[in-house]
Amino acid sequence: MSTSVPSAPTRYWPSGFSAAPWRFLTRAPVWKATVWTLLLAALFIPCLVVAIVLLPWLPLSARVADLFGRAGARWMAVAVPARRAGRWFDWRQAMELVAQLALGFAAFILACSAGVLTVVTVVIPFTYQSSQDGNLDLVFWSTTWPPAVFAVCLSFAVISALLFLYLSWVITGCSVAATVASNQNSEAEVAELTRSRAVLADAFTGERLRIERELHDGAQQYLTALQLNVAALELTAHNGGDLTVPMAEVKTNARQSLDSLRTTVRGIYPQVLKDKGLVEAVRELVAHSGINGEVAVTGVPRDLTDTPALLLYHCAAEGLTNAVKHGDAANILVTIDYRQDATVVTVDDDGRGVSTGPAGSSGSKGTGIAGLRERAATLGGTVSLTPATSPWTTRLALSVERNRP
């Protein structure tokens, strides 16, 4: 029995902090955080202007902000979880954009304050004597002694620098945490990902078992018979008998072996699907199905990547199998609909129809349909098995979103 290894907890904050200044200043992440804070400050105003001007394209700006935040997290050696964003508007990325702009504003204020304070601490030692009384007045303390003035300014400079570094660390940490949090998968998404991986593993196992079964029941039997035919042919030739019948049996079993192997290979990934595309592959499938069928195409055909194309092809094959073996259908219609946002394959037949039972009208007839439904879910697709309108009785439909990998 396999045991699952618990995953490491998600880290939201960069490492390297120390309350002791002498340790804090000697760590590389501190200076990286300072650079990142200055970058946030420098980009605040341009990014704010772009976000306002391109407000109708807010989702695009949010995606750019997410990429920027990921770069900062990598810079600070913090791993960002992989997450599939929404197709158009992703509210998590939008919230991250707002957070990064707010942190950019804080970094801008901090950088400006640090710059002003630096100028003041540098200028005061050279200008305080030109004041009205020549004194340096600090609330309840006043002095005219130059070494004391330099000491006070130096103290202010050191304290300000330390404060700037610590606040830069806080701002950078918040920036990294915002990116990690916006990309953190929810428990439902983690469960769905785990289920999808299990479905894929089961699909691979089932496919291997199917190939083994087809080879055992088909090609292996014909090859065994072919081996016996060759032995009989050798014996007949050795005895000087008539070779016509043994040679015919050799040819028959050799042809059946090739046909069985072609069928098995076609079930794995049809060559015509790779060479000519989904439409021609489905037409060939219908032509070899032994049933009166028609293939209709709507929309503008387009190239599909391998995985969605194979899934749609298997949907057509499953519909044909159900129509012939389970539905006793005489006619079928396979429709390939190229929509703007998806590709849909529907298989209509005039067989016995969908049985009504606990599964309801959508049905789940056969493990093949269940397997299709699970594999389609991993690609963001849907599968339905429903009654069809006359003259058809059953409709199997599979939809896969466009541009799926």
Distance in angstroms (rounded) separating the CA atoms of residues 129 and 150: 12
**Mean pLDDT, the chain cut into blocks of 10 residues (405 residues total):** 46 76 82 91 89 81 86 85 69 87 93 84 66 57 67 79 89 90 69 67 69 75 83 84 84 83 72 87 87 91 86 88 83 92 92 58 53 78 88 91 69
DSSP tag of 361: T
Q: Which amino acid is at 62?
A: A
Q: Which two tokens stand for residue 194?
A: 């785990």
Say what angle helices 91-127 and 28-53 make with each other, to 10 degrees. Answer: 120
Distance CA 77, CA 253 (A): 64
pLDDT at 402: 78
pLDDT of residue 362: 38
DSSP conformational letter for 398: E
**How many residues make up the chain in this entry?**
405
Q: Which residues pair with 344 in a beta bridge?
A: 337, 399
- In this prediction, residue 364 carries a pLDDT of 41
Q: How far is CA 156 from CA 114, 121, 153, 213, 300, in A?
A: 11, 7, 5, 82, 71
Cα separation of 291 and 332, whole Å?
A: 8
Q: How far is CA 323 from the centre of its chain?
A: 34
DSSP sequence for 84-128: PPPSS--HHHHHHHHHHHHHHHHHHHHHHHHHHHHHHHHHHHHHG
Helix axes 28-53, 58-75, angle to 10 degrees: 170
Concatenated DSSP letters for 214-267?
A: HIIIIIHHHHHHHHHHHHHHHHHHHHT---HHHHHHHHHHHHHHHHHHHHHHHH
Instruction: Give me the torsion for CA of 304, 307, 313, 315, rounded to 10°.
Output: -120
Report helix, strand and coil shares of the chain as percent, to nearest 5.
65, 10, 25
Alpha carbon of 182 to those of 35, 54, 66, 71, 73: distances in Å?
Answer: 23, 22, 9, 14, 12
Beta bridge partners of 60: none
Dihedral sign, CA of 47, 49, 50, 56? positive
Select from 279, 386, 289, 284 the least CA-distant residue to 331. Answer: 289
What pLDDT is recorded for position 203? 64
Pairing state between β 394-401 and 342-349: antiparallel
Burial (CB count within 10 angstroms: exposed 0-12, middle 13-18, buried 19+), residue 56: exposed
Which pLDDT value is given to residue 188? Answer: 60
What Å distances lie between residue 377 and 20, 57, 197, 341, 373, CA to CA? 53, 29, 11, 16, 6
Spatial distance between the Cα atoms of 308 and 401, rounded to a whole number of angstroms = 9
CB 374 within 8 A of CB 398: no
| The pair of three-digit structure tokens given for residue 150, joined into one six-digit string | 């330099």
